[in-house]
Amino acid sequence: MHLEPFELHRPTSVEEAAGLARTHAGRCDFLAGGTDLLPNYKMHINLRPHLISLDRVGEMTHREGGRVGAMTRLAELERDAAFARDYPGVAEAARQVATPLVRASATVGGNLLVETRCFFFNQSQFWRASLGFCLKADGDRCHVVPQKAVCYATFSGDLAPALMVVGAEVEVAGPDGRRRFPVGALYDAAGDGIRRVTLAPGEVVVAVHLPAEARGRPSGYAKLRARPSFDFPELGVAVALSRDGDRLAALRVATGGLEPHPREFDAITARYVGEPLSPERLDALAAEVQAAVRPVHNTAYPPDYRKRMTGVFVRRTVERLWSGGTAA
Ligand SMILES: Cc1cc2nc3c(=O)[nH]c(=O)nc-3n(C[C@H](O)[C@H](O)[C@H](O)COP(=O)(O)OP(=O)(O)OC[C@H]3O[C@@H](n4cnc5c(N)ncnc54)[C@H](O)[C@@H]3O)c2cc1C
Ligand code: SF4
């Protein structure tokens, strides 16, 4: 496996980066830490001849209060005790991404936009060619659900669900200026799974904004994976809640590692707010979220197991936060 040559651009402002993306539309990628993009390039997946590095864009490396520049390294979040006190679930998710070495380079923006994964896709060019490639790259058929022209590759970023449950927003910049919207709206849940995000061509993620009102709220992230020191999530469950005496005052749950995009369950959790959280209610909540998720067979663990573990992880994480437990 080797890297094909590409032209590297190193803009120093967001506007310059967006301008370069417009000039090289369809023939470029943004490069952040490169921990996802470059391994994919080495496997000759969706190669582009132009890479726009974001490492010199000062605005994107800057972090202040609840504003986290997209180029913030995960290792920096992990080391920041004040951040972990304010947003414990996000810090807990960041700590569980990959390995310390990867986290030293990996960024927040890159984690939100990490490529979806599937065992027919994360393979060398030689391996993929032996099956005639697949819809997501170079081919015309899906090996997981062949009867549909949709890609079911799994969204495997750890930060997104944790950011979603605290109500974080992303700030993006592009040819038409800047806009801000909830993290969940970054993902194209109604799309074909290949175009996985809602960014317009040339748009770059500048920062993530964490709301002040969520500061200090109990939140947590639980991750299922084969090797806890290393692997992508087979399932990620993020929860944020607050309590008013023996009643739930607020509750949000989101999942990742199961479907082509991270998912929130506000319609389900809203029914539990304002009520005491008895063991029976907790079981019912876990069962409802478990019933709603639809993993397919394209990662290491079978979908039935990941589905059942969703219920287990929802129950455990809500219980931990409800009883005042801190991050693992
Ligand atoms: C061994 C190994 C284990 C891993 N385990 C995990 C894991 O457990 N959990 C997990 O979540 N990830 C994991 N990863 C994937 C990856 O390391 C992380 O997701 C990381 O946070 C990606 O960030 P990056 O800065 O390296 O992104 P890059 O690789 O630079 O970019 C990823 C994608 O995002 C786009 N992009 C990056 N920044 C921006 C931006 N600001 N605006 C617009 N587009 C942008 C790039 O064009 C590219 O498409 C693993 C990787 C390796 C090599
Ligand atoms: S889900 Fe199908 S189209 Fe998507 S990467 Fe896997 S095999 Fe390819």
Pair (290, 178) in one structural domain: no
Give the ligand 1 atom nearest the CA of 102.
17
Pocket of ligand 1 (CB under 6 A): 29-37, 39, 54, 70, 74, 97-98, 102, 105-107, 109-111, 113-114, 156-158, 204-205, 231-232
Q: How far, in Å, is the centroid of ligand 2 from the Cα of 226?
A: 21
Pair (82, 164) in one structural domain: yes
Q: Which domain holds residue 295?
A: 219-322
Pair (181, 81) in one structural domain: yes
pLDDT at position 326 is 63
pLDDT at position 327 is 57
Pair (228, 193) in one structural domain: no
Q: How far, in Å, is the centroid of ligand 2 from the Cα of 141?
A: 8
Q: How far, in Å, is the centroid of ligand 1 from the Cα of 22?
A: 22
**From the CA of 139, which ligand is nearest?**
2
Output the DSSP codes for 113-175: TPPPB-TTTSS-HHHHHHTT-BTTBB-S--SSSTTSS---PBP--SHHHHHHHTT-EEEEEET
Residue 15 belongs to a domain: yes
Pair (190, 92) in one structural domain: yes
Q: How far, in Å, is the centroid of ligand 2 from the Cα of 189?
A: 16
Mean pLDDT by 10 residues, the chain (328 residues): 92 96 95 98 96 97 94 96 97 97 98 96 93 92 93 97 98 94 96 92 96 97 94 98 95 98 98 96 98 96 98 98 77
The CATH number of the domain where 13 resides is what?
3.30.43.10
Q: How many domains does the chain have?
A: 3
Pair (250, 137) in one structural domain: no
The CATH number of the domain where 68 resides is what?
3.30.465.10
pLDDT digits (tens, 9 = 90+) for 168-213: 999 999 988 999 999 999 999 988 999 899 999 889 999 999 999 9
pLDDT at position 257 is 98
pLDDT digits (tens, 9 = 90+) for 288-320: 999 999 999 999 999 999 999 999 999 999 999
Give the ligand 2 atom nearest the CA of 118.
6
The Cα angle at residue 164 between residues 75 and 108, in degrees rounded to 5: 25
Residue 250 belongs to a domain: yes
Pair (73, 183) in one structural domain: yes
**From the CA of 202, which ligand is nearest?**
1
Pair (194, 74) in one structural domain: yes
Entry pTM: 0.97
Pair (207, 109) in one structural domain: yes
pLDDT at position 1 is 74
Q: How far, in Å, is the centroid of ligand 1 from the Cα of 156?
A: 10
Residue 84 belongs to a domain: yes
Cα Rg, the chain, nearest whole Å? 20
| Domain-ending residue, one of 212, 237, 267 | 212
**From the CA of 123, which ligand is nearest?**
2
| Domain-ending residue, one of 12, 33, 53 | 53
| Domain-ending residue, one of 171, 189, 212 | 212
Q: What's the CA gap between 252 and 314, in Å, rounded?
A: 11
Give the ligand 1 atom nearest the CA of 111.
21
Pair (257, 305) in one structural domain: yes
Pair (8, 97) in one structural domain: no
- Whose CA is closest to atom 9 on ligand 1? 97
- From the list 151, 179, 254, 167, the residue with the least C-alpha distance to 210 is 167
Residue 327 belongs to a domain: no
Residue 328 belongs to a domain: no
Q: How far, in Å, is the centroid of ligand 1 from the Cα of 39?
A: 10
Q: What backbone torsions phi and psi does residue 184 show, to the nearest 5 degrees?
A: -60, -30
Give the ligand 1 atom nearest the CA of 206.
41
Of 8, 14, 30, best ligand 1 pocket probe by most atoms within 8 Å of the beta carbon: 30
The CATH number of the domain where 270 resides is what?
3.30.390.50
**From the CA of 118, which ligand is nearest?**
2
Output the DSSP codes for 219-266: EEEEEE-SSTTTPPPSEEEEEEEEEETTEEEEEEEEEESSSSS-EE-H
Residue 225 belongs to a domain: yes
Pair (142, 268) in one structural domain: no
